[in-house]
Amino acid sequence: MDDMPPPVTELLAADLDRGFAELVRTHGGAVYAVLLRLSGGPRDVEDLVQDTFLRAYTALRDYPPERRLALRPRAWLLAIGTNVWRNHVRTLTRRPAAEDGVDVQELPVKDGRPGPERRAEHTWERERLVAALAELPEHHRLPVVLRHIGELSYAEVAELLDAPVGTVKAQVSRGLAALRGKPQLAEGEVIG
Amino acid sequence: MSRLHSGSGGGPEGPDRATRRAVNGEDTAKASAAGITGGAPPGLDALRVAMPADLAIRIMQRAGVADREYDRYATVDGPVTRLFVAYGRGAVTGSAPVEWYAGPDAFEEAHLHRTGRSALPTAKPLPGVVGALRTGRDRTLRYDYGGLPEAQRRVLEAVRAIPRGQLRPVGWLGREAGLPEATAAEVLAAVRASPAPVLIPVHRVGDETGRPVDCGLPPDLVGRLRAHEGVDEDRLTRFSADGTRYLGSDTTRIFCYPTCAHARRITDRHRVPFGSVDAARVAGYRPCRSCRPVVV
């Protein structure tokens, strides 16, 4: 263990710029994957990721080292990312010709492109999942994405969403049930 | 056992060393211990995709972080092996065969550990690297050796001076590096400490007969790299068996290392083998100025 590089929070406390590079290296993928599934498609996701990290950098500049050291970086970044995404959706809905924040481009389009059957099946399964996820109502999709793509704990998701842990667990399991091939059930469940 | 990356301190040990470390402190550790994917439908983990190439670098640029604070790295297809090649500020800062690491994460962590800088992925290799690997000539590249001691840097610069397809013994490296009093073990330690093996041609270092030495690369990779450069191992074996260390030409009265380009051009009729520098000297031969079997 002693030849491990120091954790990102130690680097952040010691040197903001180098620590920030390490923050991007270790958590950029999670932020990207979560925002990709929240925004539903690759169109705006780069901007959202960049905005998220820009905000993070600006905030870190004003944090004293002790506060940087105490960060739980992934939960913190995903909280910023979720806010950035919410603002983005709000802006979209204020504009005419706005969609609901779900990009349908990524839904299955294909007419069986030739290729190894197994791979096609895998791709199809993945696209089905992406589509099903995009169809989930936000109060199911957000917890599922944060928990299973962002890999946060239930406690972290609950804190981020400002909801009781039990509620979050229920939302996640309902969301997952809907993803298991019964997207039509999810609609009936939109109660609140 | 194929990972003889000792010395540079970055050798990866075991698979998955890098995965999911320091992800989020204890919480994530707990979360994964509890089986994070336990209740998830299969396939959700496939949606944990990596960032597109260069997005990390665009983030750094947008935040206005100076580029001396981080490195970039690309995967480069060499003719013999794929390499991770990290660079910053126009210089190579580290490189290693892809197969040495469990994955990109492991390479990144080793790089951070060794240099103190994070390596962020890019699709664009350092200009000159692809050509250097193709031609076996890395003279156009610059290296940032980091905290390597001056003596070790000089040894590595001497390694870089060994031409493609040729071999030099350890003793030659010490002389060329201006360290005639260094032991073979010290010189070899410097060779193994190379932050960029393969790119820096450590496979061209041999013993007195040209046989491979512990240069930090696995023996099979050394064999493949040498074969790719056209080193004739059978010829070396013959010389090794009959005690030939140098080849002279009786028309020029010059003697060379057997793999020197000049030595390979000597026709059978004029080739004179020598077992030592003294024997060549006594016979009235002078050392070649290209391969420099002794200081001239």
* Contact between A72 and B52 using a beta-carbon 8 Å cutoff: no
For B147, residues 6+ apart whose C-beta sits below 8 A from its C-beta are none
Task: Write the residue in A15, A50, A156 that is nearest to B59 by C-beta.
Answer: A50
| A116 and A32 fall within a common domain | no
| Whether residue A97 sits in one domain with residue A8 | yes
The predicted-structure confidence for B165-193, as pLDDT tens digits, reads as follows 999 999 999 999 999 999 999 999 999 99
Best B8, B24, B70 residue to mutate vs chain A (most A CBs within 10 Å) = B24
Whether A61 maps to a domain, the answer reads: yes
Domain count, chain A: 2
Task: Return the residue in A2, A17, A160 with the most chain B beta carbons within 10 A, the one to mutate for interface testing.
Answer: A17
What's residue B68's pLDDT?
95
pLDDT over threshold 90, residue A19: yes
Which of A56, A81, A106 lies at the terminal end of a domain, its last residue? A106
Asked if the Cβ–Cβ distance from A24 to B56 is below 8 Å, we say yes
What distance in Å separates the CA atoms of residue B216 and residue B199, rounded to the nearest whole number?
13
Query: Distance from CA of residue B126 to its chain's centroid?
Result: 16
| A13 and A77 assigned to the same domain | yes
A117 lies in the same domain as A83: no
Give CA–CA dist B6/B261, Å, rounded. 32
Show the domain range for A31: 1-106
Examine the pLDDT at A120 and tell me if it is beyond 90.
Answer: no
Asked if residue A129 is part of any domain, the answer here is: yes
The interaxial angle of helices A45-62 and B55-63, nearest 10 deg, is 40
Select the residue of B37, B47, B59 nearest A28 (Cβ to Cβ).
B59
- Chain B residues touching residue A20 (CB < 8 angstroms): 60, 63, 65, 69
Would you give the DSSP letter of residue B98?
G
Amino acid at A167: T
A26 CB neighbours in chain B (<8 A) are 22-23
Examine the domain organization and report whether A93 and A172 are in the same domain: no
Pairwise pLDDT comparison (B16 vs B260), residue with the higher score: B260
Query: What percentage of chain B has pLDDT greater than the value 70?
Result: 85
CB contact under 8 A, B44 and A179: yes
ipTM of the complex: 0.81
Question: In the numeric block, which tokens belong to residue B120?
Answer: 């962020």
Closest residue in chain B to residue A145, using alpha carbons only: B44
Quick check: B120 and A25 CB within 8 A?
Answer: yes
Give the pLDDT score at B34. 39
Q: Is residue B131 within 8 Å of residue B140, measured between CB atoms?
A: yes
Domain B149-235 belongs to what topology? Arc Repressor Mutant, subunit A (1.10.10)
pLDDT at A117: 59
Picking from B53, B131, B141, B129, the residue whose alpha carbon sits closest to that of residue B91 is B141
- Say what the pLDDT of residue A76 is: 97
Looking at A58, A84, A106, which one is the last position of a domain? Answer: A106
Residue B86 touches chain A, beta carbons under 8 Å: no
Q: What does the pLDDT read at residue B70? A: 97
Average pLDDT over residues A120-147: 87
The minimum CA-CA distance between B15 and chain A, rounded to whole Å, is: 14
B55 touches chain A (CB under 8 A): yes
- B248 - beta bridge partners? B255, B272
Q: Render pLDDT for B53-78 as a digit per residue (tens, 0 to 9).
A: 899 999 999 999 999 999 999 999 98
Average pLDDT, chain A: 83
- In a domain? residue A64: yes
Contact present, B42 and B54 (Cβ < 8 Å): no
Residues A55 and A23 grouped into a single domain: yes
Task: Over range A126-144, report the average pLDDT.
Answer: 89
Last residue of a domain, one of A68, A84, A106: A106
pLDDT at position A92 is: 81
CA distance B172 to B292: 8
**Do A98 and A41 lie in a common domain?**
yes
**DSSP codes of every residue in chain A:** -TTSPPPHHHHHHH-HHHHHHHHHHHHHHHHHHHHHHHHSSSTTHHHHHHHHHHHHHHHHHHS-HHHHHT--HHHHHHHHHHHHHHHHHHHHHHSTT---S--GGGS---S---S-HHHHHHHHHHHHHHHHHHHS-HHHHHHHIIIIIS---HHHHHHHHTS-HHHHHHHHHHHHHHHTT-HHHHHHTTT-
B218 by Cβ neighbours in 10 Å (0-12 / 13-18 / 19+) ranks as middle
pLDDT of the residue at B139:
86
- At B271, list the tokens: 């080739």
In terms of CATH architecture, what is B59-144?
Answer: 2-Layer Sandwich (3.30)
Report yes or no: B39 at the A interface, CB cutoff 8 Å: yes
Residues A75 and A31 in one domain: yes
DSSP conformation letters of B143-209: B--TT--HHHHHHHHHHHTSPTT--EEHHHHHHHTT-TT--HHHHHHHHHT-SSBTTB-GGGEE-TT
Residues A33 and B49 sit within 8 Å (Cβ to Cβ): yes
Average pLDDT, chain B: 87
Residue B26: is its pLDDT beyond 90? no
**How confident is the model over B200-208, as a mean pLDDT?**
95
For residue A138, what is the domain's CATH number?
1.10.10.10
Q: Tell me, yes or no, whether A82 lies in a domain.
A: yes
CATH code of A28's domain: 1.10.1740.10
Which among A25, A144, A176 is the nearest to B56, CB-wise?
A25
Cβ of residue A174 closer than 8 Å to a chain B Cβ: no
Task: Say how far apart CA B263 and CA B248 lie, in whole Å.
Answer: 7
Residue of B nearest to A53 (CA): B59
Residues A155, A181, single domain; the answer is yes
The answer to whether A129 contacts B48, with C-beta atoms less than 8 Å apart, is no
Task: Tell me whether B275 touches chain A (CB under 8 Å).
Answer: no
Say if residue A24 is in the same domain as residue A52: yes
pLDDT attached to residue A116: 54
Q: Which two tokens stand for residue B163?
A: 């031409």
Kindly tell me the burial class for residue B281, based on how many C-beta atoms sit within 10 Å of its own C-beta (0-12, 13-18, 19 or more).
middle
pLDDT for the residue B13? 39
In a domain, A192, yes or no: no
Contact A32 B40 (CB under 8 A): no
Give the lowest-confidence range in A178-187, B105-114, B126-135: A178-187
The 10 Å Cβ neighbour count of residue A73 is 23
How high is the pLDDT of residue B195?
96
Return the domain boundaries, chain B. 59-144, 149-235, 242-287
Same domain for A119 and A100?
no
